[in-house]
RNA sequence: GGGCGCAUAGCUCAGUUGGUUAGAGCGUCACAUUGACAUUGUGAAGGUCGGAAGUUCGAAUCUUCCUGCGCCCACCA
């Protein structure tokens, strides 16, 4: 390396200031085009692909996104450095209901208008403007995080290409009979004025009154309910078939019972779903306003009577007493009527799980409506086998084609997949993929474009946002066209996302992809946990405990932010984040920076570059043979390369990072660099370790490593090769060096506890205090490696002084310890009773370890 | 009601198929300080691994039960 290539120490700032480098580095990466795998150098037969779980265009990125970006970027950068064709596709999600609700709220707050006041066209314009702004913010934040996303392939769940794909998929499913239009009981959100799916419901525990009553004085069976207002829609009473109390009434119909302002007819049916032990053991069946009742009604062919409307009020059909009232008002009205008529047999306070809409907060009402559904269990033939969307979804994971990390979440997956029901996909929202169905009178045509002829109108509804999200791995790669990208990158290598979205998204991706492509969407699912505050609470606006990733990046740098999110958190587990933690990793970033500063400023400019793969003694070319410390650090380096590689392959990111940190700080900086200050001729090794470390750290800390790299190489670190294991493992050196470390530590302890004042004085006289701090290191290395220290007389004095105290103390202490230890081990071994399992091996192992420890102690004593 | 997870140092967590004296970071305390770094260095203190029983020569680790937290799912009318 030529001298002019090495920056002078004075040229490199003492502290690493992330803010002054990061944006420039990212811009250079982006300009290089190397985020696009098509531009990567070399022959890359193996593909690696991740699609970014598209953030919702509802605002800005939070810590959850930052974790996702950090983890995925590590995976992608690692793959890229390992010579894979590494693709990471960015994108955003229109998040129909979430975005729509958000804009509606803003519209109402700022202008006092609803979406119906401004109309479909105007409303959509506003949503798109909002979505665009949000998109721009999100993209900028991804860049700040250092995410090596291929922006040339960026996608949006609602752009033209994805819309086309959605239409093609919808039509195919319709043609295959897997999408149908039907009049069924769905979850209706009266506030959002739309249907919602089961998983968009959140249950809240509320107090309720459980009324037990009879429809009329002469009705033979009493029933219980917390919702008397729905009872005007009852058409049956269901009892268990084995319930002797009611056996006589099964099959009978009680016609024209006057009830709360209307007239009802009740048939008594027997159904095994009824729990005879609950309440009176009889269930009033309201087919139109309860999903379970609708099922019972379907089994028994019962009439359906809708008494709650889309506005959340009682319909005219509900009868004169309650028509027009809200359900809450009607509940009191009916209860009052029952009491007045003396029909109530019991009132009991109870808690009830109230279904509310996740986004709008409205109370969800089951209501029968004409909607579009995806048939979960309908069977069809695929490759000669009878399957269903449900069975395809189950089989992908059951067969091992999709692996979930951590494994325990497979239970959650099956819990959902096994109970998969028909999926209502139509939404009465304006923002989203419009359903490609056209109507003219009784005719229905499913088509992307309007059918021939006049008078066709398109379905006004849009699709559940998860319909298009479920197609994300392949629509981003060009489907339905048969593209080269699709061929190369699908199935994607890994899906990395939060565990909270497993049922929403992951399951649906498997369903859509296995059906449409006959492939799994990804081979592995890696689920990260939630980022909580330092007290373990969820971050939320109301608690005012949100840590904004951009603030952390501005203050401590993206590298530090990434490390704080990745190290110390394991898949599937929530992690806690505090500003102190980020600051801690900023310190580490700075440490690495200063390590490089030291190495670069101390290497000899005449040194040849290290050439690897030759005999150990000559590899580093210098006149001095490898010392113990050299052999030790190289051996450790090899071990770290090997271990970190294995861990990253296994997606053990946290553990890999911790090991690297430990080696970097505790081995390289604290020991080897200190030794290098005294022993010269280590330039090649210093450079070698620095270079390897920089490569190893790059996926975790892309910015600072790229910056360090640029100070001694003219290339782009991002596309450099991942380090490989050299043949430098040297276990005896590691053992021997451990002895030195032990010994040194002991002397330090003696010095610390006994206060060797003379040593301090001499050191002060010599004026070389920095070296004194490590005099013990030098001393022991000098002993073991027979180095001359004659050019540092001051140190010799210090060492001589220390020796007298240290050696005596150590000799006395260790000798006792050794004999006690050997005796204890022998006693232990004598007591071992051999079992039939693995006796010889076990005892041999213990004996070997004992001998090893004894040898270690003996070695120390012989040195003294 | 069903399922899952967690409990290890003051705090946050590692601990890979059971194996010597249970580790790290932060925090605390002591000492150090002009030559890479105070965003630093060297050390120390601090744990009967939630409780009980069991399996084993040996348990933080495996089994059972108990206690305390947390999460997910579910239409108990």
Q: State the DSSP string of A557-574.
A: -HHHHHHHHHTT--TTS-
Token digits for A249? 């009434």
Asked if residues A156 and A170 have their Cβ atoms less than 8 Å apart, the reply is no
Distance in angstroms: CA A864, C1' B6: 49
Quote the pLDDT of residue A672: 87
Distance in angstroms: CA A686, C1' B39: 23
Query: Closest nucleotide (CA of A499 to C1')?
Result: B72
Q: Given strand A282-285, what is the order of strands in its sheet?
A: A253-259, A262-270, A236-239, A282-285
Task: Name the residue closest to the C1' of B5 by its CA.
Answer: A573
A503 vs A200: CA distance, rounded Å: 11
Statement: residue A750 has pLDDT above 70 = no
Query: Closest nucleotide (CA of A837 to C1')?
Result: B56
Distance in angstroms: CA A527, C1' B5: 14
Quote the pLDDT of residue A273: 84
**Could you give phi then psi for residue A827, rounded to 5 degrees?**
-60, -40
C-alpha dihedral (A560, A563, A569, A572), degrees to nearest 10: 110
Query: Closest nucleotide (CA of A595 to C1')?
Result: B36
Query: Closest nucleotide (CA of A290 to C1')?
Result: B75
Distance in angstroms: CA A583, C1' B28: 19
Distance in angstroms: CA A628, C1' B12: 37
Distance in angstroms: CA A793, C1' B41: 23
The angle, 0 to 180 degrees and rounded to 10, between the axes of the packed helices A628-649 and A653-662 is 170
Q: What is the average pLDDT score of chain A? A: 83
Quote the pLDDT of residue A573: 85
**Helix (H/G/I), strand (E/B), else coil: A457:** strand
Distance in angstroms: CA A473, C1' B12: 36
Distance of CA A386 to the CA centre of its chain: 35
Distance in angstroms: CA A88, C1' B13: 31
**Could you give phi then psi for residue A188, rounded to 5 degrees?**
-110, 130
Distance in angstroms: CA A698, C1' B18: 37
A294 vs A187: CA distance, rounded Å: 12
Quote the pLDDT of residue A8: 53
- Cis amide bond preceding A218, omega within 30: no
Task: Name the residue closest to the C1' of B72 by its CA.
Answer: A412
A30 vs A41: CA distance, rounded Å: 15
Quote the pLDDT of residue A628: 77
Task: Name the residue closest to the C1' of B76 by its CA.
Answer: A278
- Per DSSP, the residues of A60-115 read ---HHHHHHHHHHHHHHHHHHHTT-EEEEE-EEB--HHHHHHHHHHHHHHHH---H
Average pLDDT of span A263-280: 88
pLDDT band at A832 (very low <50, low <70, confident <90, very high): very low
Distance in angstroms: CA A648, C1' B31: 40
Pairing of strands A223-225, A201-213: antiparallel
Average pLDDT of span A690-712: 95
Q: Where are the beta strands (DSSP E) in A240-343?
A: 253-259, 262-270, 282-285
Average pLDDT of span A656-660: 91
Strand B, nucleotides covered by protein (CB < 7 Å) = 2-6, 11-15, 19-21, 24-26, 30-44, 56-58, 72-77
Alpha helical stretches, state H, A608-682: 616-619, 628-649, 653-662, 673-678
* Cα–Cα distance list, A201 to A24, A189, A432, A740 (Å): 45, 10, 20, 64
Average pLDDT of span A835-851: 45
Task: Name the residue closest to the C1' of B15 by its CA.
Answer: A655
- Closest-CA residue to A191 (of A362, A365, A366, A426): A362
C-alpha neighbours within 13 Å on the C-beta side of residue A752: 8
Query: Closest nucleotide (CA of A355 to C1')?
Result: B75
More confident call, A186 vs A279: A186
Looking at A57-61, A219-223, A493-497, A817-821, which range is the least confident one? Answer: A817-821
Q: Where are the beta strands (DSSP E) in A90-226?
A: 91-92, 155-156, 179-189, 194-196, 201-213, 223-225
> Cβ neighbours of residue A222 under 8 Å, at least 6 residues apart?
A212, A213, A214, A280, A282, A345
Quote the pLDDT of residue A471: 97
A271 vs A298: CA distance, rounded Å: 12
Query: Closest nucleotide (CA of A843 to C1')?
Result: B57
pLDDT for A537-583, tens place per residue? 778 777 777 888 999 999 999 999 999 999 888 888 888 888 889 99
Alpha helical stretches, state H, A418-543: 465-469, 472-475, 484-489, 507-517
pLDDT band at A670 (very low <50, low <70, confident <90, very high): confident
Query: Closest nucleotide (CA of A655 to C1')?
Result: B14
For the entire predicted model, the pTM comes to 0.86
Any idea which residue has 């605002």 for tokens? A59
Distance in angstroms: CA A313, C1' B49: 59
Quote the pLDDT of residue A746: 54
Any idea which residue has 């080269």 for tokens? A484
Pairing of strands A223-225, A403-405: unpaired
Asked if residues A269 and A208 have their Cβ atoms less than 8 Å apart, the reply is no
pLDDT band at A744 (very low <50, low <70, confident <90, very high): low
More confident call, A283 vs A738: A283
Asked if residues A481 and A451 have their Cβ atoms less than 8 Å apart, the reply is no
Distance in angstroms: CA A722, C1' B53: 52
Query: Closest nucleotide (CA of A849 to C1')?
Result: B20
How many angstroms separate the most distant Cα atoms in chain A?
115
Query: Closest nucleotide (CA of A673 to C1')?
Result: B36
């Amino acid at each position: 390396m030529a001298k002019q290539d090495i920056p002078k120490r004075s040229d490199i700032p003492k502290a690493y200031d992330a803010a002054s480098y990061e944006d420039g580095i990212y811009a250079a990466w982006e300009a290089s085009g190397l985020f696009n795998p098509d531009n990567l150098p070399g022959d890359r037969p193996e593909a690696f692909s991740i699609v970014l779980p598209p953030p919702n265009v509802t605002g800005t990125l939070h810590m959850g996104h930052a974790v996702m970006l950090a983890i995925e970027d590590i995976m992608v950068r690692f793959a890229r450095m390992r010579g894979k064709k590494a693709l990471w596709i960015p994108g955003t999600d229109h998040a129909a209901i979430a975005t729509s609700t958000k804009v509606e709220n803003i519209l109402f707050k700022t202008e006092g208008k609803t979406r119906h006041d401004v109309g479909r066209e105007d409303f959509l314009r506003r949503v798109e403007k909002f979505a665009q702004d949000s998109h721009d913010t999100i993209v900028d934040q991804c860049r700040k995080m250092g995410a090596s996303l291929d922006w040339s392939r960026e996608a949006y769940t609602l752009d033209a290409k994805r819309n086309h794909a959605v239409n093609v998929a919808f039509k195919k499913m319709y043609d295959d009979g897997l999408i149908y239009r039907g009049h069924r009981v769905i979850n209706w959100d009266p506030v959002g004025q739309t249907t919602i799916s089961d998983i968009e419901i959140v249950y809240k525990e509320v107090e309720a009154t459980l009324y037990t009553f009879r429809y009329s004085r002469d009705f033979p069976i009493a029933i219980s309910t917390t919702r008397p207002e729905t009872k005007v829609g009852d058409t049956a009473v269901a009892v268990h078939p084995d319930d002797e109390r009611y056996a006589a009434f099964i099959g009978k119909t009680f016609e024209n019972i006057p009830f709360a302002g209307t007239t009802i007819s009740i048939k008594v049916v027997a159904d095994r779903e009824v729990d005879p032990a609950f309440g009176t053991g009889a269930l009033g069946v309201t087919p139109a306003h309860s999903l379970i009742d609708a099922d019972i009604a379907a089994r028994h062919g019962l009439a359906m009577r809708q008494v709650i409307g889309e506005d959340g009020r009682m319909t005219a059909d509900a009868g004169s007493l309650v028509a027009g009232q809200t359900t809450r008002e009607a509940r009191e009205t009916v209860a009052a009527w029952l009491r007045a008529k003396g029909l109530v047999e019991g009132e009991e306070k109870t808690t009830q799980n109230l279904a509310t809409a996740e986004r709008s907060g409205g109370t969800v009402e089951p209501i029968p409506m004409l909607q579009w559904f995806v048939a979960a269990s309908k069977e069809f033939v695929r490759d000669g086998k009878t399957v269903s969307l449900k069975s395809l979804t189950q089989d992908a994971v059951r067969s091992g084609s999709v692996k979930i990390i951590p494994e325990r979440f497979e239970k959650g997956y099956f819990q959902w997949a096994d109970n998969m029901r028909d999926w209502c996909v139509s939404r009465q929202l304006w923002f989203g993929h419009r359903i490609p169905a056209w109507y003219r009178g009784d005719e229905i045509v499913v088509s992307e474009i309007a059918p021939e002829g006049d008078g066709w109108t398109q379905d006004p509804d849009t699709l559940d946002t998860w319909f298009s999200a479920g197609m994300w791995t392949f629509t981003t790669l060009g489907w339905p066209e048969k593209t080269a990208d699709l061929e190369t990158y699908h199935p994607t290598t890994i899906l990395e996302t939060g565990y909270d979205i497993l049922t929403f998204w992951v399951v649906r991706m498997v369903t859509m992809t296995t059906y449409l492509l006959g492939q799994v969407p990804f081979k592995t699912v890696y689920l990260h946990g939630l980022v909580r505050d330092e007290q373990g609470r969820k971050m939320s606006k109301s608690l005012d405990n949100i840590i904004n990733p951009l603030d952390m990046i501005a203050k401590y740098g993206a590298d530090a932010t990434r490390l704080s999110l990745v190290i110390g958190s394991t898949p599937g587990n929530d992690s806690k984040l505090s500003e102190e933690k980020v600051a801690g990793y900023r310190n580490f970033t700075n440490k690495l920076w200063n390590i490089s500063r030291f190495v670069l400023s101390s290497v000899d400019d005449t040194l040849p570059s290290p050439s690897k793969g030759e005999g150990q003694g000559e590899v580093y070319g210098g006149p001095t043979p490898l010392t113990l410390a050299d052999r030790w650090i190289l051996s450790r380096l090899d071990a770290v390369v090997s271990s970190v590689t294995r861990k990253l392959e296994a997606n053990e990111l946290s553990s890999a990072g911790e090991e690297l940190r430990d080696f970097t700080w505790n081995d390289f900086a604290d020991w080897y660099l200190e030794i290098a200050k005294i022993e010269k001729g280590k330039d090649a090794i210093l450079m070698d370790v620095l270079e390897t470390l920089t490569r190893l750290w790059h996926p975790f800390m892309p910015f600072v490593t790229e910056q360090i790299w640029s100070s001694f190489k003219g290339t782009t670190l991002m596309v450099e090769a991942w380090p490989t294991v050299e043949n430098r493992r040297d276990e005896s050196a590691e053992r021997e060096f451990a002895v030195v470390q032990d010994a040194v530590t002991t002397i330090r302890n003696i010095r610390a506890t006994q206060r060797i004042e003379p040593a301090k004085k001499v050191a002060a006289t010599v004026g070389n205090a920095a070296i004194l701090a490590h005099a013990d290191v030098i001393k022991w290395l000098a002993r073991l490696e027979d180095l001359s220290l004659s050019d540092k007389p001051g140190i010799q004095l210090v060492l001589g002084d220390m020796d007298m105290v240290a050696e005596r103390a150590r000799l006395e202490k260790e000798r006792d310890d050794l004999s006690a230890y050997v005796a204890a081990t022998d006693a232990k071994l004598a007591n071992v009773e051999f079992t039939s399992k693995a006796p010889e091996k076990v005892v041999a192992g213990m004996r070997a370890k004992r001998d090893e420890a004894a040898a270690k102690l003996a070695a120390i004593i012989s040195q003294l």
